[in-house]
Amino acid sequence: MRVAVLSGGRSSEHDVSLASGEGVAAGLRAAGHEVLAVTLERDGTWVFEGEELALQPGRGLLGTDVAFPVLHGPFGEDGTVQGLLELLDVPYVGSGVLASAVCLDKIVAKELMAQAGIAQVAYAGVQTARWEDEREVVLAELAALGLPLFVKPARLGSSVGIAKVAAAEELGDALDAAFFHDPCVIVEAMSTGAEIECSVLGSARAADASEPGEIVIAADWYDFAAKYEPGGMQLRVPPRISATAREQVRATAVEAFRRFGCSGLARADFFVEGDRVLLNELNTMPGFTPTSVYAKLWEASGLPYEELVERLCVLAIERHAQERSYRL
């Protein structure tokens, strides 16, 4: 296959995306495929071999068979690039416009999870306008979630802009910091359970879950440094949870993947308290850096990295063909 690997992007996860793109490109080359590395600059420009790309709707992308948008966060993982690739009429790895947008917005995703009856931690969403107009009222409402709390920009990943709040007087500053990144912020109650992740691969018709893995860290919580610095975390497979919880994690990961309309891949993040399994979020384009969990869990499940990235490209081509078979 001739694959365009897209990395970089306009979000604060630009550098993480570049590292992910290098990993995917190396894996595809090792599997025998031709890779065209396309960089999305911080200003939104698309560049290939030092030249700015001119994109034409319906004309594909550099004559490639499939695009692999290894992009994280806004302007990449939120349905925007997916919509552009739809207009170009090129198959692309990962979920479509709606599922990408929904899963990146933590508030919308959690509301849909609640409707579906999927167990999760207590949470509250805060909009910047209300925070500016009713600061003290918002703080009083959030006190009902207890302490500690996690404050997060609603539409970022890689732990960017997240703060753990252990004391009530810290909450206001944490919210201010999160609003620097996003006009929507989510505040979550802390779970004391094990942090478990599970990778999903497939389509809406047939999706499989990997062996779950336990995130083991020396830090106070799973922050950016723990995720991306060498030795920041250890992935324990199998995790130290019961067989009942393990199967519930895998079943819930696939259920959420299907309910949200995901395609290709997703990483499901959980807290497990005894046999109680709490879904935290779905990531539709998880990291592919050397320390990233998604591929490591598939490797532990018997699917090597090179075969994984190849399979994702095949799934993308199959989905594109199927969707084009419908008369819209």
Q: Which residues are catalytic?
A: 13, 158, 228, 267, 269, 281, 283, 287
- Is residue 250 within 8 Å of residue 213, measured between CB atoms? no
Task: Tell me the sheet residues that pair with 165.
Answer: 149
Question: Sheet containing 149-153: which strands, arranged edge to edge?
Answer: 123-127, 184-189, 149-153, 163-165
Closest CA to 108 of 78, 136, 85: 78
Distance (Å, whole) CA 213 – CA 209: 11
Distance (Å, whole) CA 322 – CA 144: 47
Vertex 109 angle, CA 126 and 123, to 5° = 45
Reduce the DSSP state of residue 235 to 3 states and report it: strand
What does the DSSP assignment read for 54-82?
Answer: PP-TTS-STT-SEEEE---STTTSSSHHH
CB atoms within 10 A of CB 1: 18
Distance (Å, whole) CA 31 – CA 224: 30
Task: Tell me the sheet residues that pair with 185.
Answer: 126, 153
Instruction: Catalogue the E-assigned strands of 49-202.
Output: 51-52, 66-69, 123-127, 149-153, 163-165, 184-189, 194-202
